[in-house]
Amino acid sequence: MSLLFLLLFNFVLAQEAHSAACCGGGFASPTVIAGDQASQLTLSYSYNSIAIDNVDSSGYWRTWDTHQSVQSYRLEGATILSDQLQAGIAIPIINRSRLNQSFSGLGDVSATLGYEYLPDWDYNPIRPKGIGFLQLTLPTGFSKYESEQGGLDSRGNGFFAIGLGTLLTKSYKSIDGFISLEAHRSFSKSVNTSMVTGKIEPGFGGNIGIGSGYSLKDWRLGGAITWTVEQPVNIVQASNTIAGAVERYATAALTVSLMTSDEWAETLSYTDQTWFGSPLNTSLGRGVALQVQRRWLR
Amino acid sequence: MRIFSLLAVLCSFWTMPMVLASPILNVNGKNLLDGKDVHLTSSQKIGLVVVFLSAKCPCSNSHIAEISTLASQFLDFSFLAVHSNSNEDEQMSKAYFESKKLPFPVIQDSASRLADLFKALKTPHAFVLNSKGDIVYQGGVSSSADFSKADKKYLRDALEDMRANRAVKVSNGRTLGCVIQRS
Amino acid sequence: MKYLKLLLLSMLMFGCAQEKKPPDTNNLKPSNTTAREGTADCTYFFNHSRLCLSYSWVKAPTDTELGTFTFKTYRQNVLDQTPIQVDLGSIPDVILWMPSMGHGSSPVTVEKVDTGTYRATRVFFIMPGEWQIKWQVKQGSTVEDELIVPITI
């Protein structure tokens, strides 16, 4: 029981960090119950600092002496609707700052519907536990495309988006592992700023994550990597089209979790986007996060 | 094509729990409490109830009273407990189960033989076999980790269905509890 | 062969990120495209009016400080290609845009100094990389004329 529960943290935190370090973007991680609890409430705080300001289309890394930093608070709740059906919601608050400028506000609110299509009702050494999810993201966060501050005041994607994905988990004695797959489609919107006037047309994006952990009594040490890719976002104006570029990065996470009781657990994590992958058209960040979760058992 | 292959693999996993084990006609082992051999057959009575329990798991402990009550109320069924956790000391486990005064034997399954045979996952994990040895119910004893908060009593409902000669309405229940530590 | 491909794919996926430095690492100062005295180098010109543009930095921006540049719009003398300053239809908007990242920067202030001569202040690039400076001549909200110059910060 505890293994899968702690596993959830690793998955969530790895996913939570999978937005590009600067300028909003990324896709909110789904709020799913991976264990056997009836409901859960999670509060997390993260601090991320941009380590590499820009990786361009040719893969060149550029860094300045001063960087953006991003703090985020995220409140998530999830509950089962029936034995295998569940729903969740996530509400982030984002603060982005650089030098003496700082912007705060609501990020992209997301709602998730999950279904345990591969329940672990009996023992099988090979079969994983599988949860499929459908996620709807609302454009409550301000996007970088609309920003007149170079994306400093951006707090999310700024699009309606639908995502579909699955989380597969498996534990063997003290070792656990997971694989997550997700694909999403964002929908176009009009924009009218001093920078651009036209229609922003995003495309598809996706994430693949893998992770593993080792549990010792009430502690768990874990690691995960999530690869993210986003299709170019084009801006169609009256006179021309501004072509975007493919965005790509990988987020690595190291976590330490503690289950203080059946109802409470805490996780501390470190994430780094400079370790893996071949990033393109993005910024790379490093961060730490603390997460506290309260569970209600079935 | 690759997507279809992945879907096929996932679907095969999905059907795995639906494929019940081959008929289990006999269950035997050594009684943890007195060291004597235990041999029960599913054909002796209407059916055989096998429950995997733990000496340490709180979820297992919270269901002990219900299982004992069922054993006294459903005398037309045979009851058997199995202790498969390899990380629980035998002496400590014996003292625990003795203190619970269970009205049925407890088999010490040190090599996880019975756990693997039944595909038991957690404690408590209950299996109900009919007289032909088919598993007609497998899963949790109730719908909660804490029996006092349960709104559904899967094991009791399955026994009542069998006694009334009805098909068991819920044949698979979610197991809630501690994962069995196999040897 | 397929195992080799699988191995290479695994290495690509799990491969450690390699920092790749750009060819010219000391490139914080943008390039200077001032037309030389006595000639009219028309490297940059507006799409519609075909007027030429040259710009030069008065103060190059840094990661912490705003920059200033002046720009001149002109046509080439038919006889000897010397520059003849000409006003644009209206004071243009100057927009800093980073196409690969999909965002701009804070608004630039533009004022007219003399015939065909303008000054852009509060020029700030929020991050290093490949940017575009866009000059847009608008009639209301409609862009009538535009010029885009790439710049690497």
Q: Which residues contact C36 (CB under 8 A, 6 or more apart)?
A: none
> What confidence score (pLDDT) does residue C33 get?
42
- Between A6 and A142, residue with greater pLDDT: A142
Residue C14 has pLDDT above 70, yes or no: no
- State phi, psi for B175 to the nearest 5 degrees: -90, 130
> What confidence score (pLDDT) does residue C90 get?
93
Residue C29 has pLDDT above 50, yes or no: no
- State phi, psi for A14 to the nearest 5 degrees: -65, -40
CA angle C67, C68, C73 (to 5 degrees): 140
Asked whether the beta carbons of residue B175 and residue A121 sit closer than 8 angstroms, the reply is yes
Query: Mean pLDDT score of chain A, rounded to an integer?
Result: 90
What is the mean predicted confidence (pLDDT) over A126-139?
A: 96
For residue B161, what are its two tokens? 């269905």
CA B153, CA B150: separation in Å to the nearest integer?
Answer: 7
Percentage of chain B modeled with pLDDT above 90: 83
In this complex, the residue of A56, A235, A242 whose CB is nearest that of residue C129 is A56
- Ranked by mean pLDDT, which of A44-48, B39-43, C125-129 comes out on top? A44-48
Min Cα–Cα distance to chain A from C101, Å: 6
Residue B20 has pLDDT above 60, yes or no: no
Query: Which is nearest to B170 in space by CA: B180, B150, B156?
Result: B156
Q: DSSP letters along A132-174, please?
A: EEEEEE-TTSPPGGG-SSTTTT--S--S-EEEEEEEEEEEETT
- B25: pLDDT confidence band, cut at 50, 70 and 90? confident
- Do C and B touch, 3+ Cβ pairs within 8 Å? The answer is no
> What confidence score (pLDDT) does residue A10 get?
44
A124 part of contact set with chain B, CB < 8 Å? yes
Residue C96 has pLDDT above 70, yes or no: yes
Total number of domains constituting chain B: 1
> In the CATH scheme, what is the code of domain A2-297?
2.40.160.40
Is residue B115 a part of any domain in this protein?
yes
What is the mean predicted confidence (pLDDT) over C31-42?
A: 50
Asked whether the beta carbons of residue B17 and residue A1 sit closer than 8 angstroms, the reply is no
DSSP 8-state code for residue A29 = P
- Do A and B touch, 3+ Cβ pairs within 8 Å? The answer is yes
Residue B178 has pLDDT above 50, yes or no: yes
Is residue C81 a part of any domain in this protein?
yes
Is residue C38 a part of any domain in this protein?
yes
> What confidence score (pLDDT) does residue A226 get?
96
Asked whether the beta carbons of residue C103 and residue A147 sit closer than 8 angstroms, the reply is yes
Q: What are the distances in angstroms from CA A216 to CA A173, A185, B88?
A: 10, 40, 16
CA A69, CA C83: separation in Å to the nearest integer?
Answer: 47
User: What is the span of the domain harbouring residue B78?
Assistant: 23-179
CA C125, CA B167: separation in Å to the nearest integer?
Answer: 73
In this complex, the residue of B118, B119, B139 whose CB is nearest that of residue A124 is B119
> What confidence score (pLDDT) does residue C124 get?
93
- C27: pLDDT confidence band, cut at 50, 70 and 90? very low
Is residue C138 a part of any domain in this protein?
yes
Residue C4 has pLDDT above 60, yes or no: no
What is the mean predicted confidence (pLDDT) over B79-95?
A: 95
User: What is the span of the domain harbouring residue C46?
Assistant: 27-152
DSSP 8-state code for residue B20 = P
CA B178, CA A2: separation in Å to the nearest integer?
Answer: 8
At A190, the amino acid letter reads S
CATH of the domain at B146: 3.40.30.10
Helix (H), strand (E) at residue A261: none
DSSP 8-state code for residue B43 = T
- B34: pLDDT confidence band, cut at 50, 70 and 90? very high
Is residue B17 a part of any domain in this protein?
no
Min Cα–Cα distance to chain A from B127, Å: 11
- State phi, psi for B99 to the nearest 5 degrees: -65, -25
CA C47, CA B158: separation in Å to the nearest integer?
Answer: 81
The per-residue pLDDT for range B150-166, each reduced to its tens digit, is 999 999 999 999 999 99
Q: What are the distances in angstroms from CA B43 to CA A233, B105, B145?
A: 68, 18, 31
Is residue B9 a part of any domain in this protein?
no
Determine the longest span between alpha carbons in chain C, in angstroms: 69
> What confidence score (pLDDT) does residue C140 get?
84
Residue C36 has pLDDT above 50, yes or no: no
ipTM of the complex in this document: 0.85
Is residue B93 a part of any domain in this protein?
yes
CATH of the domain at C72: 2.60.40
> What confidence score (pLDDT) does residue B17 get?
45
Asked whether the beta carbons of residue A83 and residue B181 sit closer than 8 angstroms, the reply is no
Burial code (b: 16+ CB inside 10 Å, e: under 16) for A49-76 equals ebbbbbbbeebbbbbbeebbbbbbebeb
Total number of domains constituting chain C: 1
Average the pLDDT over each of A214-228, A238-252, B117-131, C32-46 and give the range with the smallest value: C32-46
Is residue B95 a part of any domain in this protein?
yes
Prior bond to B124 cis, omega within 30?
A: yes
Residue B42 has pLDDT above 50, yes or no: yes
CA A151, CA A145: separation in Å to the nearest integer?
Answer: 7
DSSP 8-state code for residue B33 = T
Residue B9 has pLDDT above 90, yes or no: no
- A21: pLDDT confidence band, cut at 50, 70 and 90? low
DSSP 8-state code for residue B22 = P
What is the mean predicted confidence (pLDDT) over B20-36?
A: 86
The per-residue pLDDT for range C74-89, each reduced to its tens digit, is 999 888 888 899 999 9
Residue A209 has pLDDT above 50, yes or no: yes
The per-residue pLDDT for range A219-246, each reduced to its tens digit, is 999 999 999 999 999 999 887 888 999 9
CA C1, CA A108: separation in Å to the nearest integer?
Answer: 45
Is the sign of the CA dihedral B68, B72, B74, B76 positive or negative? positive
- Partners of residue B129 on adjacent β-strands: B48, B135
Is residue B132 a part of any domain in this protein?
yes
The per-residue pLDDT for range A26-85, each reduced to its tens digit, is 566 789 999 999 999 999 999 999 999 999 999 999 998 888 999 999 999 999 999 999
Is residue B7 a part of any domain in this protein?
no
Query: Which is nearest to A5 in space by CA: A28, A39, A37?
Result: A37
Q: What's the predicted TM-score (pTM) here? A: 0.87
Residues 2-41 in B contacting A (C-alpha not used; CB under 8 Å): 10, 13-14, 16-17
Helix (H), strand (E) at residue C11: helix C2-14
Q: What are the distances in angstroms from CA A292 to CA A5, A12, A40?
A: 13, 12, 10
DSSP 3-state helix, strand, coil percentages of chain B (rounded to 5)?
Answer: 35, 25, 40
For residue A6, what are its two tokens? 């702690």
